[in-house]
Structure 1
């Protein structure tokens, strides 16, 4: 489905404007409001006032973490939907988030001295295992369907979540700080987290953009892709690696934030069409917008206390998921 150039330009410009506005509010709103002059001073490093230090050391890295994770999760969801030709596919539904979370919690219990840079490898492994379990369960007994994928994903997700809760219950002392993380939150992130995400999510995004023409072909279906000469097996491996990098890094830093990878690809394809050379970068843009806005909204749930951003994405995403399920998994 091809969209007009005017629609595409309006969509991209609107996304950029929304991103700038959401970043402004993310930097401005907190326990106390910071004016624009102090925000600019904090970002540029031209002032050493308390407000500018708060911007530079706390709010700016938090805003950038939200942008990177939102972009990564949205692109991961778009790739999963293309590869499975299934509009219900996403890191959460496919068990990627839950698998990554389980091994991160296990790593925190067994190796409490490990740095985030090391723990991220546990998240990668868990993400791969979780996704593999759901794919195996949904593919058996007659092939994969949208509803079957959703049921398998929810079942594996609940199973892995119960294992996480068991680990937390039996290791309360060493997992006190994990509970907020398990709800999906970007509060307390720092410049080290930004660097980690730039490495892994940045790598995943670059590789995803390079392979975007192949994802367009894969979205037409496996038989069509083979007929057009696409190497389906190789693309499955490439897509799996990209999804693990994007979702695994996001889980390692901010926990299992759900529904971003489900919502954004549907909206973007409706706006710019099905060419993944456009879909993926625009998904990254609007994924960043969604999580930035959700992070701002999360600050008002129990103000002045912080609330996990995953609460907001769940409030937005759950009705969307139910709507898709009611349609039998058909795309928008």
Structure 2
């Protein structure tokens, strides 16, 4: 990636960031204001800035704001995890959902909930990390390496996904009395998330996102191919290994809090690359920003699908991501025929 080409993309990058921050700001205000009792924008701003101990302030600060922050953190984490996976595998279909990471994390979290019910939310994060690694490695070995055709990756990923998901459902079926609350979580939900969940997510998200941004140049080289990356001085094996660890951290922590929310890591990086190009120094920050934007607005939409009841946010992302996944799979399959 030449410096001249990078400079030509900088205005588009800055404009994309500006648009993203505007969308995120208004989405945050709208997310916090809407609910079973609507709160005006003026009251939301007042509740965020002043401690007046009114009912509106308590609703905003104790219920809706932490839920919105969870959506922002998870959206950023899943989008960046998807972008990293697409770089280290050089495959447009790679993302935590298709690569078995979400299903693996879900399986181990459910098993831990059944076998070790005394585990705290913070401890469940480590179970999610273990499961995420399990799912990712299974797909990797079935695909016989990272540089595989999109259709082959999709088949391997969906096979592992359905296998691990069936095991999860079997655990739930045979432990109905202890897994009632898990069923809603398995669709991907952030309802009733509070400041404790923010505290669980925040350190892992900060560390994972910061490390991804630092390694963005290496991911750009890796996305061009192993030979080109080595020719440019890149450490291919180390970058791929560290990238895999970052995917596990970002996707695993997200699944432990909100369940397997799908397709964010597939949809956002592709849209971002259309706007800012393929340089990961631009792709990763914009993916984090627009991943947050997607989940903020998806959370709003989830409140009205079955109004007055709330629906899992995973339903909204699946409605958006499934057609896009089928389009990419069809396009990739035709390209490799």
TM over 0.5: yes
Give the unaligned 5+ runs of structure 2: none
Alignment map for 1:1-332 (pairs within 5 Å): 2=5, 4-139=9-144, 144-328=148-332
Q: State how far apart, in whole Å, the 2-side matches of 1:106 and 1:75 are.
A: 27
Give the unaligned 5+ runs of structure 1: none
* Superposition CA RMSD, Å: 1.4
The answer as to whether partners of 1:27 and 1:59 remain within 8 angstroms in 2 is: yes
The answer as to whether partners of 2:12 and 2:275 remain within 8 angstroms in 1 is: yes
The answer as to whether partners of 1:98 and 1:157 remain within 8 angstroms in 2 is: yes
Q: 1:113 to 1:20 in 2, by over 3 A?
A: same
- CA deviation string 1:57-108 (max 9, x = no partner): 1100000000000000000000000111100000000000000000000011
The answer as to whether partners of 1:62 and 1:187 remain within 8 angstroms in 2 is: yes
Deviation of 1:33 (Å): 0.7
Q: Give TM-score, length-normalised by structure 1.
A: 0.96
The answer as to whether partners of 1:45 and 1:56 remain within 8 angstroms in 2 is: no
Deviation of 1:143 (Å): 6.6
- CA deviation string 1:260-313 (max 9, x = no partner): 000000011110111111110110000000011101000001112111000000
Deviation of 1:5 (Å): 3.2
The answer as to whether partners of 1:298 and 1:306 remain within 8 angstroms in 2 is: yes
Aligned length: 329
The answer as to whether partners of 2:9 and 2:277 remain within 8 angstroms in 1 is: no
Q: State how far apart, in whole Å, the 1-side matches of 2:114 and 2:103 are.
A: 17
Q: Which runs of 4+ in 1 moved over 4 A?
A: none
Q: State how far apart, in whole Å, the 1-side matches of 2:244 and 2:287 are.
A: 18
Q: State how far apart, in whole Å, the 1-side matches of 2:50 and 2:174 are.
A: 45
Q: Give TM-score, length-normalised by structure 2.
A: 0.95
The answer as to whether partners of 1:138 and 1:145 remain within 8 angstroms in 2 is: no
What secondary structure, in the 3-state scheme, does the structure 1 residue paired with 2:321 have?
A: helix
